[in-house]
Amino acid sequence: MSVAIITGASKGLGEALARALAARGWDLVLDARDPVPLAEAAGLVSAHGTRVTALPGDVTDAAHRAELVAAAWRLGGVDLVVHNASALGAEPLVRLEELPLEGLRRALEVNVVAALGLVQEALPLLRSAPAGAVLVVSSDAAAEAYPTWGGYGASKAALDQLAAVLAVEEPGLRVWAVDPGDMATDLYAAAVPDDDGPRPEPARVVPAFLRLLDERPASGRYGAPALLEERR
């Protein structure tokens, strides 16, 4: 049985991906800071009959990251790490001239530093997995210059580069950075509260992630819309 660690899995994309992987028989270790929605999400995910360990905590906490990996080890190892938890740096987003530097530090800490910390912790188990993979959730804002998305976008660009270098340093693993495209989630609503335009639910984007796991293309940066489009 395969085991995945998914950060930020109490709602949004992380929860949708957890449900889809559980439906495919994956055992899961899930986290989020707020224990109540995390427990609710874990209850729904475990309805698929696989083993689900939910550990509330903040990905920026090294002891919590160690707990996540230890829990996966107890389930049999680590086949996949999904770094999905994310911080915006300011809610709502603001122009760079107003961005609190503490907000930028927080975005870098959650989106980049914690991602590397979790990967470092999991690397021995990932390397010994038959098909180890790391998937980091990126953003269009990492590559395009949208007003107000500068701090968050800079952190996601750093995350992309981290993933790219990890891929060449660890040729035995797959390392994918995935831009999921806009989704109707709390994160988007917090970023741009006045923008209530139509956006896909996260579950609509999950098949792009499953495609990567099924086809295991080369390590690199992928856009979910293109992965979904090509599959039609």
Ligand X SMILES: NC(=O)c1ccc[n+]([C@@H]2O[C@H](COP(=O)([O-])OP(=O)(O)OC[C@H]3O[C@@H](n4cnc5c(N)ncnc54)[C@H](OP(=O)(O)O)[C@@H]3O)[C@@H](O)[C@H]2O)c1
Residues identified as active-site: 152
Q: Which residues pair with 133 in a beta bridge?
A: 80, 174
Please, what sign has the CA dihedral across residues 17, 23, 24, 25? positive
Task: Please give the Cα distance from 197 to 98 (Å, whole number).
Answer: 25
In the three-class reduction of DSSP (H, G, I as helix; E, B as strand; rest coil), residue 38 is classed as helix
By CB under 6 A, name the binding residues for ligand X.
Answer: 7-14, 31-34, 58-60, 84-87, 110, 137, 139, 180, 182-183, 185-188, 202
In a 10 Å sphere around its CB, with 0-12 CB exposed, 13-18 middle and 19+ buried, how is residue 140 labelled?
A: middle
Name the residue with the smallest CB distance to ligand X: 12
Cβ closest to ligand X, residue 187 vs residue 228: 187
Cβ closest to ligand X, residue 76 vs residue 210: 210
Cβ closest to ligand X, residue 87 vs residue 173: 87
Cβ proximity of 4 and 29 under 8 Å: yes
In angstroms, what is the minimal distance from the CB of 127 to ligand X?
25
Cβ proximity of 84 and 6 under 8 Å: yes
H helices of the chain, in order, are: 12-23, 35-46, 62-75, 101-108, 114-128, 150-169, 186-191, 202-215, 224-231
- Cβ neighbours for 19, distance < 8 A, ≥ 6 positions apart: 44, 45, 48, 203
In angstroms, what is the minimal distance from the CB of 180 to ligand X?
5
Q: Which residues pair with 137 in a beta bridge?
A: 178
Cβ closest to ligand X, residue 68 vs residue 173: 68
In angstroms, what is the minimal distance from the CB of 224 to ligand X?
9
In angstroms, what is the minimal distance from the CB of 47 to ligand X?
18
In angstroms, what is the minimal distance from the CB of 130 to ligand X?
27
Cβ closest to ligand X, residue 55 vs residue 76: 55
